[in-house]
Amino acid sequence: MTISTTAPITPGGIGKPVAKRDGTALVQGRVRYVDDYNPAALLHASVVRSSIAHGRILSIDTSAAEVAPGVISVVTGAEAAERTEPIPYFIDPSSRGGRRVDVRCLEPDLVTYVGQPVAAVVARTRSQARSAARLVTVEYDQLPHVLHARDSVQSNAPRVYPDWPDNVIFSKVYGTGDPDARLADADVTVTGEFQVARSNTAPIEPRGYLANWDSIEEHLTLQGSLQNPHQLRWMLAQTLGLDETRISVQTSKIGGSFGLKMQGLPEETLVCLLSMLLEAPVKWIEDRPETFMSGAREQHHRITLGAKRDGTVVALKNEILADAGSLTAQAGWAMCNMSATTFPSGYRVQDCQIDLRLVATNKPPLSAARGFGKDSAHFVMERAMDLLARELEMDPGELRRRNFVGPEEFPYRTSTGLNIDSGDYDGLLTKAQDLIGYAGWRTRQAALRHGTGTDTLSRIGIGIAFEVTPESSDSPGSFVSGYDTTTVRMSSGGRVTVLTGVTSPGGGNDTGIAQIVSSELGVPLEWIDVVQGDTDRCPNGFGNFSGRSMVVGGGSAALAARDVQATLRTVGARLLDESVEACEVIDGAVRVIADQSRQVDIPTVATAVVQRAFAEADGVEPRLESTRAFKPGNIDHTPDEHGRIQPYPTYSSCAHIAVVDVDDETGKVDVIDYVIAHDCGTMINPALVEGQARGAVVMGLGAALTEQLAFDAEGRLITDRFKTYLLLRASEVPTLKMAHQVTPSPFTMHGNKGAGEAGLGGAQAAIANAVEDALSDLRVRVDRLPLTPPRVLDLIERGRAQ
């Protein structure tokens, strides 16, 4: 395995734990989020939402709202439908053999969930808009609703979309081999049913958009808290019937996103429409209860593993029933596809069959969420591996080691078609076990169980989980693109501006990209500014998703930086009266390699390129700027003989070990020790990698322990604030210990792999496995998340009653 970079080691360059460039400004409150922009004559929008889960709109009475204080306009779905087209899907289910419906910015006819936008009110203040929105009354012809996937698949279930023959949005079978035959031959089989609850990404900053239609220039500018400005510009061109060149999209500073702010959501088009209708700037900022409508995940799995007596897994079958809620033009519905494809994870099982059904229910849609379905696959796969370990009376770590794809087997094609680039899974597990003191915890657990010693803990449980996370996807025929584009531009004074198509939702990839440019161009980090998220300034790109930003934003920045560096080196060598080969560009200067005392600083060289284009720079294209795209290797869209494509170039991996203490009397689970061993190939910035991994683990711990969206029988969300939707607080998360392993990807510019999603699924699995381990004497099965105290106490009491 080789790394293709030859970049020298520089102080702020690749591999250094440089602090986030905007970190100080963020903590001092010196950044602007979308809600901080208040242009003159700004108007504020509030969205009127369906109060029922299913029905036809008969009439809308806006008269009271129209005369309410400050109100400028009230727009209904019928009016919006005259001025806008349906929202194009980020990934169209019909292009994957599934079903679609038209999704509009305001629904004119059929509402399918409580909270669906049906009208909008614009007023002089946000408070006035909100008050007036409550005065809009909608008359419905109510239809029977269905809230759960298990009910939605019944033949007599209400149809969420009445003209469909059933509620299935999408179904597909994945895998190769003959798992039925292997299961028939297996020494042991285990079957488990697992439920993943609906949760939410809960970013600190909700969504928000500020649209400004310039009626003289006939130009629309949309600022917002969003991840994908270029795709959104294209989308708005479709929905609003404008040429793309008449639209500018700018990303404000983003206070967290986690997939939620990928485009395709109704309010994006809506706010632009309102601004165009009123010829005034219009802002809409999402309320927290609105943020909580977006589902991050909700699935049921029925999985069977077959194995030999020695622990070798020989077959996997899994039936996934995924609950989409209502359809969305955002990418959220497609997450289940990656749940299926992620099986059987990093285990050497070539006989697999995964049956996926995605069904509609009368709940709000899913929105893309960190993990993108891969997290649920890891929860289920790792639970199943633990069931097997228990059945075989084998240590769960040992069972996993016997089935890991070995380091010498990469690239490894999985049964579902993924081509895993590189890894050392055994090494990861060893690092995790060493760091947490696995044997020591097992000894302490045994002493507690046998009543020896004086442990103050109640029930110790130890859970292992492994995950391999496909990253940086490219989905054919969509704007899920596996490449990106960057411009590196040097001023005549030597300052560098990097304009890139990727965006940063708060994770800090702008810092990482600057480090790459620093190394590749040979200038100090401080000389470099990074511009992201502006369709007017940045080259065409695809923003942020799928752990892609450092792989393709970084890769394209490196290519562009090398071009500029070549020009500097050529002209610098002439200024030094040396051959190009005799010189290098490093640390802000062109130097003679053999005589470090002879150098010319880069501002001088840059000025020479610009001002002496017909002298020292004669014969050189006098351009201190380059725009390059980077396509990683290992993406293949040509279906193989099994119809499989390979959409993911890189595969990060990690091993988790959680230690929990379960309170016997209340069912409360305390996480008392936690380790993650993490491998994302070359780390451009270890501090950023660690920040992302810790964040993903904590999000996974929340999904495992406390976070769930709940609805009443009428489909109304009842967990719509942080006192009912419970996030973990810092005081209940132990210090997360972290170890790194580096197996570079041979398919990316610097050997790096996508980072930021890995951690979420493993954390869920590690906690579930640890809790079941803590209760092992009761022989109960942890089959659902989150493991709230009532649920765990149920398990304990059920076990005792057996």
Partner 1 sequence: MSYSYLAPASEDELCEALRTARQPMAVIGGGTMVIPRITFGQETPATVLDLSKVHLDGVGQADGITTVGAMTPYRSLHQFDGDPTIARLLHKVALVVTGGPQIRNRGTVGGSASFANPGSDIPGALAALGARFELRSPSGSRTLPFTEFFVGPFTTGLEADEVLVSISFASPLAACGYYKFKLSQSSWPIVTAASILQTDDRLRVALGGLAGRPVVLQLDRPDRVDDAAWRQHVSTVLREPLAAAGGPWSDELAEGSYRERIAPVVIARSVADCLADSAGRQGGNRA
- Residues near partner 1 (CB under 8 A): 69, 127, 130-131, 134, 287, 289, 665-666, 668, 705-706, 710, 718-719, 722-724, 726-729, 731-732, 788-790, 793, 797
Residue 392 CB neighbours (<10 A): 20
274 burial class (0-12, 13-18, 19+ CB within 10 angstroms)? buried
Residue 685 CB neighbours (<10 A): 29
Minimum CB–partner distance for residue 796 and partner 1 (Å):
10
Q: Which residues of 502-514 are buried (b: 16+ CB within 10 A; e: fewer)?
A: bbbbbbbbbbbbb
Residues with Cβ within 8 Å of residue 263, at least 6 apart in sequence: 90, 226, 227, 228, 231, 232, 235, 330
Single-letter amino acid code for the residue at 423: G
Q: Which C-beta is closer to partner 1: that of 287 or that of 395?
A: 287
Q: How many CA atoms lie within 13 A of 167 on its CB side?
A: 29
Residue 581 φ/ψ, nearest 5 degrees: -65, -25
Q: Which C-beta is closer to partner 1: that of 58 or that of 710?
A: 710
477 burial class (0-12, 13-18, 19+ CB within 10 angstroms)? exposed
Minimum CB–partner distance for residue 663 and partner 1 (Å):
9
Q: Which C-beta is closer to partner 1: that of 67 or that of 710?
A: 710
Instruction: Judge whether 279 and 215 are in contact, CB under 8 Å.
Output: yes
Minimum CB–partner distance for residue 205 and partner 1 (Å):
18
Q: Which C-beta is closer to partner 1: that of 131 or that of 433?
A: 131
Minimum CB–partner distance for residue 287 and partner 1 (Å):
8
Residues with Cβ within 8 Å of residue 330, at least 6 apart in sequence: 90, 262, 263, 264, 265, 365, 367, 368
Q: DSSP secondary-structure letter at 636?
A: B
Q: Which C-beta is closer to partner 1: that of 35 or that of 690?
A: 35
Minimum CB–partner distance for residue 778 and partner 1 (Å):
16
Task: Look at residues 373, 371, 399 and name the one whose alpha carbon lies nearest to residue 465.
Answer: 399
Q: Which C-beta is closer to partner 1: that of 217 or that of 665?
A: 665
Q: Which C-beta is closer to partner 1: that of 129 or that of 689?
A: 129
Q: How many CA atoms lie within 13 A of 242 on its CB side?
A: 25
CA gap 358, 479 in Å, rounded: 22
Q: Which C-beta is closer to partner 1: that of 82 or that of 665?
A: 665
Q: Which C-beta is closer to partner 1: that of 46 or that of 257?
A: 46
CA gap 513, 557 in Å, rounded: 7
Minimum CB–partner distance for residue 67 and partner 1 (Å):
14
Minimum CB–partner distance for residue 721 and partner 1 (Å):
8
Residues with Cβ within 8 Å of residue 58, at least 6 apart in sequence: 139, 140, 141
- 88 is written with which tokens? 């194009």
281: preceding bond cis by omega (within 30 degrees): no
Task: Look at residues 72, 680, 598 and name the one whose alpha carbon lies nearest to residue 424.
Answer: 680
CA gap 556, 537 in Å, rounded: 16
Q: Which C-beta is closer to partner 1: that of 118 or that of 624?
A: 118
Minimum CB–partner distance for residue 699 and partner 1 (Å):
14
Minimum CB–partner distance for residue 132 and partner 1 (Å):
10
Residue 47 CB neighbours (<10 A): 24
Q: Which C-beta is closer to partner 1: that of 99 or that of 130?
A: 130
29 burial class (0-12, 13-18, 19+ CB within 10 angstroms)? exposed
Residue 175 CB neighbours (<10 A): 26
Q: Which C-beta is closer to partner 1: that of 215 or that of 724?
A: 724
Residue 79 is inside which H or E element, if any?
helix 77-83
Detail the DSSP E strand segments found in 257-338: 282-285, 299-307, 313-325
- 93 is written with which tokens? 């289910």
Secondary structure in 3-state letters for 215-263: CCCCEEEEEECCCCHHHHHHHHHHHHCCCHHHEEEEECCCCCCCCCCCC
Minimum CB–partner distance for residue 723 and partner 1 (Å):
6
Q: Which C-beta is closer to partner 1: that of 164 or that of 722?
A: 722
Minimum CB–partner distance for residue 719 and partner 1 (Å):
6
Q: Which C-beta is closer to partner 1: that of 27 or that of 184?
A: 27
Minimum CB–partner distance for residue 225 and partner 1 (Å):
21
Residue 802 CB neighbours (<10 A): 7
Q: Which C-beta is closer to partner 1: that of 645 or that of 793?
A: 793
Minimum CB–partner distance for residue 177 and partner 1 (Å):
43
Minimum CB–partner distance for residue 713 and partner 1 (Å):
14
Q: What share of the chain is helix, strand, coil (3-state, %, to 5)?
A: 30, 25, 45
Minimum CB–partner distance for residue 729 and partner 1 (Å):
4
Single-letter amino acid code for the residue at 663: D
Minimum CB–partner distance for residue 395 and partner 1 (Å):
31
Quick one: how far is CA 620 from the chain centroid? 43
Instruction: Judge whether 514 and 528 are in contact, CB under 8 Å.
Output: yes
Q: Which C-beta is closer to partner 1: that of 135 or that of 742?
A: 135
Minimum CB–partner distance for residue 767 and partner 1 (Å):
13
Minimum CB–partner distance for residue 459 and partner 1 (Å):
15
Q: Which C-beta is closer to partner 1: that of 40 or that of 730?
A: 730
Q: Which C-beta is closer to partner 1: that of 69 or that of 453?
A: 69
SS3 730: helix
